[in-house]
Amino acid sequence: MYKIVIIDDEPIIVEGLSRTMPWGEWECIVAGTAYDGFEGQKLIRNIKPNLIITDISMPRMNGLAMIAGLKGEFPDMEISILTGFRDFEYAQKAIQLGVTRLILKPSNLKEIEEAVSTMVGNLKKKNIHSEAEESESNSANSFIVKNALKYIQENYTRKVTLAEVAEKTYVSQWYLSKLLNKHTGKSFSDILNQIRINVAKDLLRNPSMRIGNIAEEVGFIDMAHFSRVFKKFEGCSANEYRNKNS
């Protein structure tokens, strides 16, 4: 039996789909339900379902980022989304990330039945269509990395962690670490510190700024740590760099 998870912040939709759809006709069983995206993600990682029907307009959730996270981590998973968005660009991106069907709200059972039938059909033809799955997975992974790097760039001045970035990009820590290393050749720590050091180098060209203040401004609480990291990346101390470039 194929396992399906249903996620929507409207309980009437979750209960209605769980009880009224003839799941047995598609060799499916409802393996779990959730009423928000964060609960849904935990459920998906525990159950590892074959199919998902999910709303994407839920509190605190970026729908495309969630989809990218799921498709990146579980490329064989079939996903149909319930959405009120009618924006073509949004729909196009969702399809690039590997969404099988976009079902516009308000929807009817026939549309959902067609989506489930298509998803199950795709699972059965999995071996035939494995150029397509790789392409979807690569697109999803690139989307995740782009969002992760953007988040790091926007938050480098404070104590940002891998766990925090993983939560914001809707993937697990180990998977994000793996993706960052694959796409950039660097660890999370090196990516963060390189951003900080690049900004510090610009600030060092201003002779009126104290090095201790620069270290703090780019996110280092410990001056000794800043000095070690700066020398690791630049091969000289911050003071030596300033003397050469001021």
Separation between Cα atoms, residue 11 and residue 16, nearest integer Å: 8
Separation between Cα atoms, residue 132 and residue 134, nearest integer Å: 6
β partners of residue 82: 55, 103
Inter-residue contact 14 to 37 (CB < 8 Å): no
What tokens does 215 get?
């270290």
Output the pLDDT for position 218: 96
- Fold agreement (2-134, 190-245): no
What value does the CA radius of gyration of the chain take, rounded to a whole number of Å? 23
Class of domain 190-245: mainly alpha
The pairing of strands 2-7 and 51-55 is: parallel
Inter-residue contact 137 to 171 (CB < 8 Å): no
Inter-residue contact 211 to 239 (CB < 8 Å): yes
Inter-residue contact 82 to 8 (CB < 8 Å): yes
What tokens does 116 get?
């489930």
Separation between Cα atoms, residue 97 and residue 240, nearest integer Å: 47
What tokens does 41 get?
């993600």
β partners of residue 33: 6
Residue range 2-134, CATH number: 3.40.50.2300
Is residue 237 left, alpha or beta, with left meaning phi > 0 and alpha meaning psi from -120 to 50? Answer: beta
What tokens does 130 get?
């494995």
The residue extents of the domains of the chain are: 2-134, 190-245
Give the chain's end-to-end CA distance (angstroms, integer).
68
> How confident is the prediction along the chain (246 residues), in pLDDT tens digits per residue?
899 999 988 899 899 899 889 898 898 999 999 988 888 888 998 999 999 998 887 776 777 788 888 888 888 899 998 887 776 777 788 888 889 998 888 788 889 999 999 999 999 887 644 476 677 778 888 999 999 999 999 999 999 999 999 988 888 899 999 999 999 999 999 999 999 999 999 999 998 999 999 999 999 989 999 999 999 999 999 999 999 887
Separation between Cα atoms, residue 221 and residue 159, nearest integer Å: 9
